[in-house]
Amino acid sequence: MSLKENLHNLKEKYKGTKMAPAFNAIHTFLYLPNETTHGGTHIKAADDLKRTMNVVIMALVPCLIFGMFNAGYQTHLASGEVSRVTGFFSANFWNFSNLMVGIVKILPLVIVSYLVGLVIEFIFAVIKGHEVEEGYLVTGMLVPLIVPVDLPLWMLAVAVAFGVVIGKEVFGGTGMNILNPALTIRAFLFFAYPTWMSGDKVWVHDAVNRAGTADAISGETILGSYAQNMESSYSMFEKFFGFIPGSVGETSTFLILVGAAFLIFTKIGSWRIIVSTFIGAAVMGLIFNFVVSSGVITESSKFYGLMSAEWFDHLMIGGLAFGAVYMATDPVTASQTNKGKWIYGFLIGFISIMIRVFNPAYPEGVFLAILLMNVFAPTIDHYVVQGNVNKRLKRLKAKTA
């Protein structure tokens, strides 16, 4: 008997019972449902929530694979085993040993993220008696990409449980949450375990242990260097393509933009939010550059390093690009109106750089900015819609006058 027949038999056996949602979820995840609509008016299309989630995962896979290579490369670079890359196809980077380090460290993060999150989803589906929702398919992939490579697995498990329960299920599940679940998980990790989410020893695998046996073992991010008023030694090439320390999937702006193009082409991601986020960040960066060039801020100021960073550097370093493409565009928590998307994205980029500069203890503000704007997205849409209504009423009064 085939796997499909076995699953179908289990589905029929538990039909109408508490466990039905769990077996239905496994069956429909592996196979297309054999049910069709009958009667009434229906819109027939090839896309559904599961396919939409799978498209986003496909856009994330290049960042995941690159992140695995980069984790090994940064480890070997910090220990002096390899030299800095000089080209995109440098053997120092595309070395199988780099990939092996990345797989050993990152694959468990992915497994724990999916295992804990999906178990909680199944439990809530069984308790509430509804179908298992596909929303966590993307969240489960996003979470390992926005955390440091050496994050303990038990911390990730606790954070995922918190994010899924408090960030989504208490609001009613997928489509009802007001906060992005993946960013809720990262926020929990940052505030609950700050020493594991910041500093110069968390971005490179085993940096803490190796610090006692080697000199200058440090995985300081570019943002961390700027926050200490130190100049970055990384080239534009390394910044753009991602050969720098950082969260697993956030370093390569190039691959993130490739993913953005794919999401825009498939009409999954909003180009308005992506573009406006970059515009907002650029404007805030230009404002800070002007303040520095005018002499208002001197080198003795603790804000000088990040303020003096070129505005285009702010777009490539940290998690800004990743947040703009994969987090801010979340259709559930983002603004829904076209004008609202421009306002929403611009404020995310603008506030991200502001937090980045004025919070040198943890110079990364994109996740806080997105969470803040998640809360204000309904308000933005309300005033956009109300503004349109008022304009139409004025036109109506002008015609009837």
DSSP string, 331-345: TTTS--SHHHHHHHH
How far is the CA of 309 from the CAs of 27, 193, 227, 241, in angstroms?
Answer: 52, 28, 10, 18
Q: Do the Cβ atoms of 337 and 385 come closer than 8 Å?
A: yes
- Per-residue pLDDT of 298-326, as tens digits, reads 877 888 888 888 999 999 988 899 999 99
Q: What's the CA gap between 75 and 25, in Å, rounded?
A: 40
Considering only 27-31, 108-112, 299-303, 360-364, which range has the smallest mean pLDDT? Answer: 27-31
Nearest to 236 by CA among 217, 222, 220, 216: 222
Considering only 3-12, 55-64, 84-93, which range has the smallest mean pLDDT? Answer: 3-12
Please return the burial class of 79, using the count of CB atoms within 10 Å of its CB with bins 0-12, 13-18 and 19+: middle
Q: What is the pTM of this model?
A: 0.86
- Per-residue pLDDT of 211-262, as tens digits, reads 444 444 445 678 877 777 777 788 899 999 999 888 899 999 999 999 999 9
Residues 94, 100, 102, 106: what is their CA dihedral angle, to the nearest 10 degrees?
Answer: 150
Confidence at residue 290, expressed as pLDDT on a 0 to 100 scale: 92
Residue ranges per structural domain of the chain: 49-214+221-387
Confidence at residue 202, expressed as pLDDT on a 0 to 100 scale: 76
- Per-residue pLDDT of 126-180, as tens digits, reads 777 666 667 788 899 999 999 999 899 999 999 999 998 888 888 777 777 888 9
Report the Cα 209 to chain-centroid distance in Å: 29
Q: Do the Cβ atoms of 371 and 182 come closer than 8 Å?
A: no
The answer, yes or no, to whether residue 379 has pLDDT greater than 90, is: yes
Rounded (to 5) percent helix, strand, coil in the chain: 65, 0, 35
Residue whose structure tokens are 């990152």: 106
Confidence at residue 221, expressed as pLDDT on a 0 to 100 scale: 77
Percentage of residues in the chain with pLDDT exceeding 70?
Answer: 81
Q: In which band, very low, low, confident or very high, does the pLDDT at 351 lie, cut at 50, 70 and 90?
A: very high
Q: What's the CA gap between 145 and 119, in Å, rounded?
A: 20
Region 27-54: mean pLDDT is 62
Q: Where are the alpha helices (DSSP H) in 266-365?
A: 271-293, 304-308, 311-316, 320-322, 338-358
How far is the CA of 208 from the CAs of 107, 203, 215, in angstroms?
Answer: 21, 10, 12
Q: What's the CA gap between 396 and 401, in Å, rounded?
A: 9
Confidence at residue 230, expressed as pLDDT on a 0 to 100 scale: 74
- Per-residue pLDDT of 279-299, as tens digits, reads 999 999 999 999 988 888 887
Residue whose structure tokens are 């800004």: 320
Region 172-193: mean pLDDT is 86
What end-to-end distance do the CA atoms of the chain give, in Å?
A: 77
Helices 96-128 and 49-78 cross at an angle (nearest 10°) of 140
221: left (phi over 0), alpha (psi -120 to 50) or beta: beta
**CA atoms in the 13 A half-sphere facing the CB of 306:** 27
* CA atoms 353, 247, 322, 51: torsion sign: negative
Confidence at residue 286, expressed as pLDDT on a 0 to 100 scale: 95
Percentage of residues in the chain with pLDDT exceeding 90?
Answer: 42
The answer, yes or no, to whether residue 63 has pLDDT greater than 90, is: yes
Confidence at residue 220, expressed as pLDDT on a 0 to 100 scale: 64
Nearest to 246 by CA among 147, 165, 339: 147
Confidence at residue 348, expressed as pLDDT on a 0 to 100 scale: 96
The answer, yes or no, to whether residue 25 has pLDDT greater than 60, is: no
Q: Do the Cβ atoms of 332 and 374 come closer than 8 Å?
A: no
Confidence at residue 339, expressed as pLDDT on a 0 to 100 scale: 95
The answer, yes or no, to whether residue 210 has pLDDT greater than 80, is: no
More confident residue, 188 or 37: 188
Name the maximum alpha-carbon separation found in the chain. 84
Report the Cα 357 to chain-centroid distance in Å: 21
